[in-house]
């Protein structure tokens, strides 16, 4: 990746620290993969989403709450998304949810964020296979339902798989970014 130089902004909202911990792991792995520190981490409760416009590559982390609801910091910033100029930016998403306790709404917030960003003219990468999960419905699936629209984590029921999923997804992102 040394031939291409770009900045990565990693933006997340976190109520219970699980999304924050996942974001920190992603940042660490990406920094290792790129051989120099490139990913800057931002909690959206502390910075305006306008800051996203300063980066070439964006990674957004969101969790689904209760019956398909947005995490509170994302909910507070939701209307700001439509105002962003992300045309031509490369975007990847990751989401946290509870596939067993909320099987009808698993990763709904991930899908809702994807849909808000998709109309802004950005290039979304990092789709993740939906195999290995148990849920009945999700707004976070691609149209053909074969993939999630971003990395899907369930630290409630599959915490033991999160680390490996993050590592594989970061390697996938590196490969997809090299192809751009």
Q: What is the pLDDT of residue 4?
A: 60
Tokens read off for 35? 């051989």
How many distinct structural domains can be found in the chain?
A: 1
Supply the range of the domain harboring residue 77: 8-178
In a domain, 38, yes or no: yes
Name the 3-class secondary structure at 154: coil
- Whether residue 3 lies inside any domain: the answer is no
Q: Are 152 and 133 in contact (CB under 8 A)?
A: yes
* Residue 37: per-residue pLDDT: 67
- For residue 1, is it within any domain? no
What pLDDT sits at residue 35? Answer: 74
Q: What is the pLDDT of residues 127-169, one digit of tens each?
A: 999 999 999 999 999 999 999 999 999 999 999 999 999 999 9
pLDDT-flagged residues of the chain (< 50): 1-3
What was the pLDDT predicted at 2?
40
Is 2 within the bounds of a domain? no
Q: How far apart are CA 21 and CA 147, in angstroms?
A: 23
> Which CATH number is 112's domain given?
3.40.50.360
Q: Which of 21, 30, 15 has the alpha carbon at shortest distance from 66?
A: 15
Residue 7 · residue 40 · CB < 8 Å: yes
């Amino acid at each position: 990746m040394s031939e291409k130089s770009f900045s990565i902004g990693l933006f997340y909202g976190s109520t219970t620290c699980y999304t924050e911990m996942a974001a920190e792991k992603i940042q660490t792995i990406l920094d290792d993969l790129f051989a120099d520190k490139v990913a800057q981490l931002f909690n959206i409760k502390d910075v305006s989403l306008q800051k996203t416009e300063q980066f070439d590559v964006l990674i957004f982390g969101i969790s689904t709450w209760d019956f398909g609801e947005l995490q509170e910091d994302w909910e507070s910033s939701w209307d700001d998304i439509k105002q962003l100029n992300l045309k031509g930016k490369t975007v990847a998403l990751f989401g946290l949810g509870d596939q067993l306790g909320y099987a009808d709404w698993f990763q709904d917030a991930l899908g809702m964020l994807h849909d808000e960003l998709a109309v802004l003219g950005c290039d979304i990468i990092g789709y993740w296979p939906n195999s290995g999960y148990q849920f009945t419905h999700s707004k976070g699936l691609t149209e053909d339902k074969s993939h999630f629209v971003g990395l899907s984590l369930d630290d409630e029921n599959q915490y033991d798989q999160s680390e490996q999923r993050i590592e594989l997804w970061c390697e996938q992102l590196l490969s997809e970014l090299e192809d751009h």
